[in-house]
Amino acid sequence: MIPGAPPAPGGSAGGWRGRGETALLYLLSIGVTLLISGGLVTITGNSWTQVMGALLNGAFLAPGRWGNTLVIAAPMLLVALGMVIGVKSGIFNIGQEGQLLMGAMAMAYVGTKLAGPGPLLLVGGLILGTLTGGLFAALAAVMRFRRGVPEVISTLLLVFIAFQINGFAITTDWFLRDLDPNRPSRAVTSAQLPAEAHLPVVTLFGNEFHIGLIFALAAAAAVAFLLTRTSTGFKLRLLGSSPNVAQNVGVAVARWGSAALFASGALAGFAGAVMLAGGASSSRLTSGFASNFGWQGLLVALLAQSRPLMCIPMAIVFAGLRTGSGFLAATGVDRKIVDVIQALLVLALLIPPAVQFIRDRRKAAAVAATGAPAEQGAG
């Protein structure tokens, strides 16, 4: 199923009965996933309760851990929101991993190469990171609307170009490479972002998280508002539903499609800048800095079925799996098992909407077959 596939006609999820059924489906498929995962853990010779406990402790229960999880969730949420804007506009930007990296690079450049007061560097870096991510995605828009190159392919391939640019940047003396002879590690990285240019940190119940989280939550609300309440959002949704009608009523496909792609990339770029300024990999740009945040953000949007507010809980679940797996190492279980559990969980969360989709289609087909007015001419 494609994220944001138009809600099947009939909207049979409505009503309490429908909602109850959906909830039950989710519970059921998650339950089955837990059973299978338990089986896998047991087969590999480990204790299921121990693994589960480690995951939960690492993600939420141990002191200070949920703050950690939220810090991880913030950039994933931002990436997912960018995906949502794209999908709603009929644009499939799947290159967030690269756009995020470009945003982080811009932040690193501003923070480590330019002089100025810390807060100014921070704000400047965040803005430049956002723009860089957006412009990097806009390259795909140029290819799409000038030459007809599908953006699914171009955004994906641009990820690898971003990796190369990043590699060049952190190994090149005049660019981002850390030239300090006393640097802590021998790995090639950028210099560390000065402490004054870090995002302010909030402490709540012994948990610390930076205000990037607040930005991300605000962005989720803003995207939801944009899509449902504003004429801009309506035009984007119109573009996503019917480019022909959009063109007819004055929503130029190339202009608005490019705007959607830019916005999508900008959110990923912002996510990258937030990560660096929020202390990810010790606020140094490394070769593996993006570390799958871009890809996982896509999964978040997919599982949230392109609903901006639903992205919030989904991002927290994925962030929890990440932070939880950190604790797993202590139990002696291979961390790869977490990847398997995560994949199973993705499948589990995809099943209920898929079932719903198939059911609605059957229903629509049955109605269409009667020739009853409800669906005449829709086929």
Partner 1 sequence: MTKRFGKVVACDEVDFTLRRGEIHGVLGENGAGKSTLMRVIFGLTLPDKGVMKLDGRSVRTLDPLEAGRRGIGMVHQHYSLVDNLTVWENAALGEQGRIDPAATKQRIREISEKYGLEVDPDAWVRDLPAGIRQRVEIIKCLRREPRIIILDEPTSVLTPAESEQLFDVLAEGVKSEQWAVALVSHKLDEILRAADRITVMRHGRVVERYLTVQADAPSLARAMVGRPVALRAVTAGLDAAASGAPVGKAAPTGSGEDEGAGFERAPPVLRIEGAAVKAGDGSVLLDGLSLEVRAGEIVGMVGVEGNGQTPLADVMSSMLELDEGRVEVAGRAVTTGAAGAMARAGAAVIPADRHRSGCVLGLTVAENLMLSLLDRMHNRGLLRRDAIRRNALDLVEEYGILTPGPDTPLGNLSGGNQQRVVLARALSADPKVMVAHQPTRGLDVGAIEYVGDRLRRAADDGLGVLLISSDLGEIFALADRIAVIYQGRIVGGMPRSELDMERLGLLMGGAGAAEEAA
Instruction: Return residues touching partner 1 (CB under 8 A).
Output: 6-7, 9-11, 229-232, 234-235, 237-238, 241-242, 244-253, 255, 366-367, 369-379
Minimum distance, C-beta of residue 265 to partner 1, in the bound complex (Å): 22
In terms of C-beta density within 10 A (0-12 exposed, 13-18 middle, 19 or more buried), how is residue 248 classed?
Answer: exposed
How far is residue 273 from each of residues 35, 122, 150, 242, 356, measured CA to CA in Å?
A: 39, 9, 27, 34, 38
Identify which of residues 46 and 242 has a Cβ nearer to partner 1 in the complex: 242
Give the C-alpha separation, 375 to 379, whole Å: 8
User: CA dihedral defined by 304, 306, 309, 314, rounded to 10 degrees?
Assistant: 20
Upper half-sphere CA count for residue 358 (Cβ side, 13 Å): 6
Dist. CA 284–CA 166, nearest whole Å = 12
Q: Considering the complex, what minimum distance in angstroms separates the CB of residue 78 from partner 1?
A: 23
Element (H, E) at 207: strand 207-210
Tokens of 286: 């490394």
Q: Which is nearer to partner 1, 336 or 361 (CB)?
A: 361
Closest contact distance (angstroms) between CB of 355 and partner 1 is 19
Distance CA 218, CA 356 (A): 30
Measured from the CB atom, is 146 or 186 closer to partner 1?
A: 146
Asked whether 145 and 87 are in contact (CB, 8 A), the reply is no
Nearer to partner 1, 203 or 370 (CB): 370
Q: How far is the CB of 257 from partner 1 (least distance, A)?
A: 11
**Dist CA 66 CA 313 (whole Å):** 13
Q: Please, which residue, 113 or 255, has the CB nearer to partner 1?
A: 255
Please state the closest distance from residue 251 (CB atom) to partner 1, in A. Answer: 6
Residue 206 or 377 with smaller CB distance to partner 1: 377
The least distance separating partner 1 from the CB of residue 12, rounded to whole angstroms, comes to: 11
